[in-house]
Structure 1
Amino acid sequence: MKLIIGASGGVGQGLLTAWEQSQRVATYHQHHPAEPAGQSHLRWLPCNVLQPGWADDLLDAVGPDLPETIVLCTGLLHDADHQPEKSITRFDRDWFARSVATNTQPFGELAATVTTRARRDQAVTLAVISAKVGSISDNKLGGWYSYRASKAALNMLVRTTAIEWRHRLPQSTLLSLHPGTTDSRLSAPFQKRLPEGQLHSPDYTGQRLAQLIDNAQPKDSGDFLSWDGSLLPW
């Protein structure tokens, strides 16, 4: 079984399509997505990753068995009142806290829950959608302070948890994934400035990420990978 958290967004929808032959559980936040005909292997569950205890509640609802693949796709870059900060003078503590609460904290809560529930001999792949702009050494342009910082912190949680899993869950794998720029609500305000060919459809992104996740092995645990399979710097 594959669990896709935040499946109503662009990347999540792409993963649903890529894995359409697999048994899937998908989550949405506010509005139940329309279900295409023939999706007999798909079950939708409501989920709010900002609620205390959400990870335990979700896995209880999924069923007694831990899914072999779990992908966390939730994220926040902008809203109706906030755009990514171009200058540190635009730093806002409430927006920063909200960015961390949405982009970073849910993975920590989910990883803690999975770590507690998984058996030592079990093979679980837990992947989270990060972003290349969360790479500290790759940062040559600046800006986007809250988003960059929240994704950098997310990457650190992945890397540190992977070190623990080497001893505690040696058959399992943790991945931090950069999906590229996907045609979605998150990227919509920034698409006009993209060079031709750099905007991917949700289906294309889903196919590439699904390949990475399906082919991942414990030796890859803790890696930060781009959609094309290349290893990204921290």
Structure 2
Amino acid sequence: MNILIIGASGGIGSAFAQTLAARESVQRVVGTYRSTPPSWEDAKVEWVPLDVTDETAVARLAQDLGEIDWLINTAGLLHEGAHGPEKRVAQVEPEFVMQNFRVNTLPTLLLAKHMAPLMRHGRPAIFVTVSARLGSIGENGLGGWYSYRASKAALNMVIKNLSIELRRTHPQLVLASLHPGTTDTALSRPFQRNVPADALFTPAYSVNCMLKVLEGLSPEDSGGFWSFDGEALPW
């Protein structure tokens, strides 16, 4: 099995890479990083620099890859420099809004455009992107976090749309949005203060939970939005 992991230098991406590389059924893991390669190595893991918001770079990578069985996109943005999630609409800044969409939404479109042809091989395949429960419109009872919520809600729509389009050409492909739970990574660290200890997961725990969910899905489930514990989440 050949696996492509986008954002494999981050907490969740790295845990996916290490966990999957340890499986006998996996022959190759290609892990991308934005600027600094991870410090760990594995004979099955090939590290590739990639700005996943750059279509030219994504297309170039696709030309070099060959067939893919699983694609896992863990790239995401919640805060950047002095910018963080907005509590009120008065805090909205257009450039930060667009950066959220550029990192949280656009890459899945670019990856599908250039990588889906590499998954048209007739074998079972998975295309998954890490989303967030905060992207659920139906569960939003608190408001706030405008840019992040909106970009993740848009991401979920992208996955649903892709599942409809690719159903005919990729009948064995499962597309899914996955909520990883609150995981101890650089993305969530500034917001962990009020998270109970038993609700803050290690990346390894979150990844193992998500893998169980993925391995229980069939093509009939394609386009769904799932939590790490297997719960189907509302749009």
TM-superposed deviation, 1:212: 2.1
Instruction: Tell me the SS of whatever aligns to 1:168.
Output: coil
**Can you list the C-alpha shifts for 1:100-121, whole angstroms capped at 9, x where unaligned?**
0000000011112233444373
Distance in 2 between residues matched to 1:115 and 1:40, nearest whole Å: 26
> In the alignment, which residue of structure 1 is the partner of 2:53?
50
> In the alignment, which residue of structure 2 is the partner of 1:111?
112
Instruction: Tell me the SS of whatever aligns to 2:192.
Output: helix
Instruction: Tell me the SS of whatever aligns to 2:232.
Output: coil
Contact 1:13/1:206 (<8 A) preserved: no
> In the alignment, which residue of structure 2 is the partner of 1:26?
31
> In the alignment, which residue of structure 2 is the partner of 1:179?
180
Which of 51-60 and 116-125 deviates more?
116-125
> In the alignment, which residue of structure 2 is the partner of 1:164?
165
Which amino acid is the alignment partner of residue 96 of structure 2? Answer: W
Contact 1:122/1:169 (<8 A) preserved: no
The two structures have a TM-score, normalised by structure 2, of: 0.93
Instruction: Tell me the SS of whatever aligns to 2:168.
Output: helix
TM-superposed deviation, 1:91: 1.1
Distance in 2 between residues matched to 1:52 and 1:90, nearest whole Å: 30
Displacement over 4 Å in runs of 4+: none
Contact 1:70/1:126 (<8 A) preserved: yes
Which of 173-182 and 207-216 deviates more?
207-216
Distance in 1 between residues matched to 2:115 and 2:155, nearest whole Å: 16
Count of residue correspondences: 230
Distance in 1 between residues matched to 2:226 and 2:98, nearest whole Å: 26
Instruction: Tell me the SS of whatever aligns to 2:210.
Output: helix
Instruction: Tell me the SS of whatever aligns to 1:45.
Output: strand
**Can you list the C-alpha shifts for 1:35-64, whole angstroms capped at 9, x where unaligned?**
24xx211111111112232322222233x2
Which of 82-91 and 162-171 deviates more?
162-171
Greater relative contact order (CA < 8 Å, ≥ 6 in sequence): 1
Contact 2:68/2:118 (<8 A) preserved: no
Unmatched 5+ residue regions in structure 2? none
**Can you list the C-alpha shifts for 1:42-93, whole angstroms capped at 9, x where unaligned?**
111111112232322222233x2x2100000000000111010000111111
Distance in 1 between residues matched to 2:70 and 2:217, nearest whole Å: 11
Which of 213-222 and 101-110 deviates more?
213-222
**Which residues of 2 match residues 49-198 of structure 1 at below 5 A?**
49-62=52-65, 64=66, 66-119=67-120, 121-198=122-199
Contact 1:178/1:226 (<8 A) preserved: yes
Instruction: Tell me the SS of whatever aligns to 1:193.
Output: coil
Contact 1:16/1:206 (<8 A) preserved: no
Distance in 2 between residues matched to 1:33 and 1:119, nearest whole Å: 30
Instruction: Tell me the SS of whatever aligns to 1:194.
Output: coil
TM-superposed deviation, 1:213: 2.3
Contact 2:55/2:110 (<8 A) preserved: no
Instruction: Tell me the SS of whatever aligns to 2:4.
Output: strand
Distance in 2 between residues matched to 1:7 and 1:118, nearest whole Å: 20
Unmatched 5+ residue regions in structure 1? none
**Coordinate RMSD, CA, aligned:** 1.4
Distance in 1 between residues matched to 2:115 and 2:54, nearest whole Å: 17
